[in-house]
């Protein structure tokens, strides 16, 4: 068994939120209403295909659909195939791209190729855990449609997984990566469903007011931390989780892991420094601190005195964010979020 080498578009973070979750939620509603439902999943992409592997589209017997497998290019064709599957057809693997006669019709003549697996949803148990039991991986045999769910409690479903395959599935889930696997006599697809990546914003300041909703739109589970109750009000942060604890206490409770961002924005060492110390002791994949280069130098000196090594301090992105030239709060928030996304996907940000 080996993991199939994939093009850049084949891997996909499957965090909570967005069109895919809406597609799953709508599928559950349709099933509750007694309607037939089909699930379409992008299982491979090449070139300029607009949606990555793991993207979902659900369809009901009326032809209504939710989610997206191409940003609109091939949805009509996929819906037609889904209706046939719901009417009693077998699961099917669809290929769209520049090599197809229908490439111009479905809108991929620019050179993108996409492979979509379409299957009937027999019951709510096929999709409910993908929303409520994260982290969980769904494995499907692209030849037979047999499937299994893999989570911390084990494996359930009609698809049997050999130990080497199960190990690869768990690795994909840990890496938050949806991908194809070549197993003995079978081509499998692993869709990884993880909780949303988290962002802790320390300091309920004006930049935080812009960053929090932007980060939420990008799929992060956002928490704003500030013990100054006049700052962290619902009026200033509508719909955002605000914690009024001291940052080190709040971060200790959050236990930042490798899917967590910590950004300090308060400009107050009494708040920022304890937060940075907690973040540096964690596995947070991104740590950023607002402030000028002079402020950063003084901060690093304080953290060095507190016992942190140069390699620890190198984890801090400061001044935080890409140098986009903006100075307004919303522009700074864009720069921060851009750098976070670049780091998350292994890019080297240009500062």
**Are residue 34 and residue 179 in the same domain, yes or no?**
yes
Query: Is residue 25 within 8 Å of 228, Cβ to Cβ?
Result: no
Query: Is residue 321 within 8 Å of 288, Cβ to Cβ?
Result: yes
Other C-beta atoms closer than 10 Å to the C-beta of 221 total: 18
- The number of domains in the chain is 2
- The residue whose two tokens read 């932007």 is 214
**Are residue 189 and residue 320 in the same domain, yes or no?**
no
Task: Give the three-class secondary structure for 114.
Answer: strand
User: Could you read off the pLDDT of 217-237 as tens digits, one per residue?
Assistant: 999 999 999 999 999 999 999
Domain limit, last residue, from 142, 163, 193: 193
Query: Is residue 53 within 8 Å of 44, Cβ to Cβ?
Result: yes
C-alpha distance from residue 238 to each of 65, 243, 273 (Å): 31, 13, 27
Domain limit, last residue, from 147, 176, 193: 193
pLDDT at 18: 75
**Are residue 70 and residue 163 in the same domain, yes or no?**
yes
User: Could you read off the pLDDT of 251-304 as tens digits, one per residue?
Assistant: 999 999 999 999 999 999 999 999 999 999 999 999 999 999 999 999 999 999
**Are residue 140 and residue 180 in the same domain, yes or no?**
yes
H helical segments located in the chain: 18-32, 75-86, 103-106, 128-132, 163-174, 206-217, 247-254, 269-280, 293-305, 310-313, 329-344
**pLDDT band at residue 13 under the 50/70/90 scheme:** very low
pLDDT at 301: 97
Domain limit, last residue, from 143, 173, 193: 193
Distance between CA atoms of 298 and 235, rounded to whole angstroms? 34
Encoded tokens for 159: 């698809």
**pLDDT band at residue 183 under the 50/70/90 scheme:** confident
Residue 230 burial (CB < 10 Å; 0-12/13-18/19+)?
exposed
Q: Mean pLDDT throughout 109-113?
A: 60
Other C-beta atoms closer than 10 Å to the C-beta of 158 total: 10
What DSSP state is assigned to residue 90?
A: P
Residue whose C-alpha is closest to residue 17's, from 49, 56, 46, 44:
56
Task: Give the three-class secondary structure for 278.
Answer: helix
Q: Is residue 349 part of a domain?
A: no
**pLDDT band at residue 2 under the 50/70/90 scheme:** very low
In our burial notation (b when 16+ CB lie closer than 10 A, e otherwise), range 122-134 reads eeeebbebbbeeb
Average per-residue pLDDT in the chain? 90
Q: What is the dihedral of CA 333, 335, 337, 339, to 10 degrees?
A: -150
* Domain boundaries, position 213: 198-343
Q: Mean pLDDT throughout 160-166?
A: 95
Q: Which CATH number do you get for residue 237? A: 3.40.50.720
Q: Is residue 318 part of a domain?
A: yes
Query: Is residue 56 within 8 Å of 67, Cβ to Cβ?
Result: yes
pLDDT at 112: 67
Q: Mean pLDDT throughout 146-167?
A: 95
**Looking at 44-58, 60-74, 263-277, which range is the least confident one?**
44-58
Q: Mean pLDDT throughout 102-131?
A: 79
**Are residue 186 and residue 205 in the same domain, yes or no?**
no
**Are residue 174 and residue 38 in the same domain, yes or no?**
yes
User: Could you read off the pLDDT of 297-329 as tens digits, one per residue?
Assistant: 999 999 999 999 999 999 999 999 999 999 999
- Residue 223: partners with Cβ closer than 8 Å, 6 or more residues away: 198, 199, 200, 201, 241, 242, 243, 250, 254
Encoded tokens for 126: 């096929």
- pLDDT for residue 177 is more than 70: yes
- pLDDT for residue 240 is more than 90: yes
- pLDDT for residue 351 is more than 50: yes
**pLDDT band at residue 12 under the 50/70/90 scheme:** very low
**Are residue 227 and residue 182 in the same domain, yes or no?**
no
Distance between CA atoms of 64 and 306, rounded to whole angstroms? 59
């Amino acid at each position: 068994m080996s993991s199939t080498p994939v093009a850049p578009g084949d891997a996909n973070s499957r965090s909570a939120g967005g069109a895919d979750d809406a597609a799953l939620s709508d599928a559950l509603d349709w099933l509750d209403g007694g309607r037939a439902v089909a699930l379409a999943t992008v299982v491979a992409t090449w070139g300029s295909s607009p949606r990555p592997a793991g993207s979902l589209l659900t369809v009901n017997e009326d032809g209504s659909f939710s989610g997206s497998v191409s940003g609109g290019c091939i949805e009509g064709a996929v819906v037609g195939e889904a209706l046939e599957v719901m009417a009693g057809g077998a699961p099917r693997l669809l290929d769209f791209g520049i090599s197809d006669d229908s490439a111009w019709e479905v809108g991929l003549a620019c050179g993108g190729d996409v492979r979509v697996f379409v299957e009937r949803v027999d019951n709510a148990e096929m999709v409910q855990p993908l929303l409520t039991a994260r982290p969980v991986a769904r494995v499907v045999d692209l030849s037979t449609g047999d499937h299994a769910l893999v989570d911390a409690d084990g494996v359930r479903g009609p698809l049997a997984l050999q130990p080497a395959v199960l190990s690869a599935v768990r690795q994909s889930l840990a890496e938050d990566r949806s991908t194809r696997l070549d197993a003995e006599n079978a081509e499998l697809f692993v869709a990884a469903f993880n909780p949303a990546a988290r962002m802790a914003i320390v300091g309920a300041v004006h930049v935080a007011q812009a960053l929090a909703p932007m980060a939420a739109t990008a799929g992060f589970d956002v928490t704003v931390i500030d013990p100054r109750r006049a700052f962290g009000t619902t009026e200033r942060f509508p719909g955002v989780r605000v914690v009024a604890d001291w940052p080190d206490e709040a971060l200790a409770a959050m236990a930042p892991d490798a899917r967590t961002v910590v950004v300090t924005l308060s400009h107050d060492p009494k708040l920022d420094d304890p937060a940075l110390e907690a973040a540096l002791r964690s596995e947070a994949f991104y740590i950023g601190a607002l402030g000028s280069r002079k402020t950063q130098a003084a901060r690093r000196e304080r953290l060095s005195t507190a016992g942190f090594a140069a390699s620890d301090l190198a984890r801090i992105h400061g001044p935080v964010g890409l140098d986009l030239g903006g100075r307004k709060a919303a522009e700074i928030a864009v720069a921060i979020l851009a750098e976070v996304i670049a780091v998350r996907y292994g890019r080297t940000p240009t500062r």
